[in-house]
Amino acid sequence: MPLLFRKVRDLRNHLRSLRCDRGLSVGFVPTMGYLHEGHKALIRRSRVQNDVTVVSIYVNPTQFGPSEDYDRYPRDLERDMAVCEELGVDVVFAPPDEEIYPIGFQTEVYVKGISDILEGRFRPGHFKGVATVVLKLLNIVQPDRAYFGEKDYQQLKVIQTMVRDLLLPVEIVPVETVREPDGLACSSRNVYLSEEERESALSLYRSFLLAEDLIKGGERRAEVIKRKMEEFILSHPHVRKIDYVEITDPDLKPKDKVEKGDRILLAVWVGNTRLIDNWKVSV
């Protein structure tokens, strides 16, 4: 079993001795738990690149809006510990709220600009919560490398920007999105979907394939591609609404003409579940 720490001080003492006394490198995988294949890919990458792998499991309240799913977000520490054991994780950090946000806490991290577009428009304050908790976790763990999935592409960009701007001594390692065999991107929120909703949720992945086909056929106008993707997604039952479909360059700058390497990002409500996904244009 991995060692389980609840307190910042205990974790710091343990990691200090591994790093300083034994000279071991540390890889860090921050998560909100309910681990799936996407998390497993991050953990496996960390295990290959570092001597010690630390996984944090913390459902961070500050990145959820008041009407979002904080209360019902899936939690199962016992199951997560078993996954971590199976994958050879050395240390799990699962702090209570008061360790991360003690009374009197008043500092927030705001990565301007990039936090306000796309997801930021629909989830105000979300990336402030993410950047703040990730900075705190990085300060606690002080890893050599930290692993983030491209599934949350904008989150990855926010973190990379924060690390660059604040000169944090950590390498951020992006890891490709892991999909179910039928294309659905792995996400802890997939458990909210009924069988029929899950079927409709496949339209997100399939809309990327549609976009690729259009591009292959010579269509480069972002507006046309986005409209066709939206029509396709909305033609599925249980799809309630589309928050956005956007095409950007790799740094999230909107594009009119689509090129290889651009990103297509979307957020769609299927039933009561809000799903996000993104795709790197390959043609």
Active site residues: 39
Query: Binding of ligand PAF at residue 95 (CB under 6 A)?
Result: no
Residue closer to ligand PAF, measured from CB, 79 or 221: 79
**Contacts to ligand PAF from residues 181-240, by CB under 6 A:** none
Report in angstroms how near the CB of residue 149 gets to ligand PAF at its nearest: 7
**Burial (0-12, 13-18, 19+ Cβ within 10 Å), 132:** buried
Q: Of 118 and 247, which has the nearer Cβ to ligand PAF? A: 118
| Single residue of 8, 26, 32, 109 touching ligand PAF by CB under 6 A | 32
Q: From residue 119 to residue 158, what is the string marking binding to ligand PAF with x (rule CB under 6 A)?
A: -----------x--xx-----------------x--x---
**Which residues lie below 8 Å from residue 92, measured CB to CB, with a gap of 6+?**
2, 3, 4, 5, 54, 55, 56, 57, 80, 81, 84
On whether the CB atoms of residues 145 and 45 are closer than 8 A, the answer is: no
| Cα–Cα distance for residue pair 116/114, rounded to 1 Å | 6
Question: What backbone torsions phi and psi does residue 188 show, to the nearest 5 degrees?
Answer: -65, -25
Complex with ligand PAF: residue 152 or 262, whichever CB lies closer:
152
What token pair was written down for 73?
A: 């977000």
Q: Does the protein bind ligand PAF through residue 266 (CB under 6 A)? A: no
Extract the tokens encoding 106: 């008043």
Cβ of 85: how many Cβ atoms within 10 Å? 12
Contact call for residue 84 and ligand PAF (CB under 6 A): no
Which lies closer to ligand PAF via its Cβ, residue 148 or residue 258? 148
Question: What residue ranges bind ligand PAF (CB under 6 A)?
Answer: 30-32, 60, 63, 130, 133-134, 152, 155
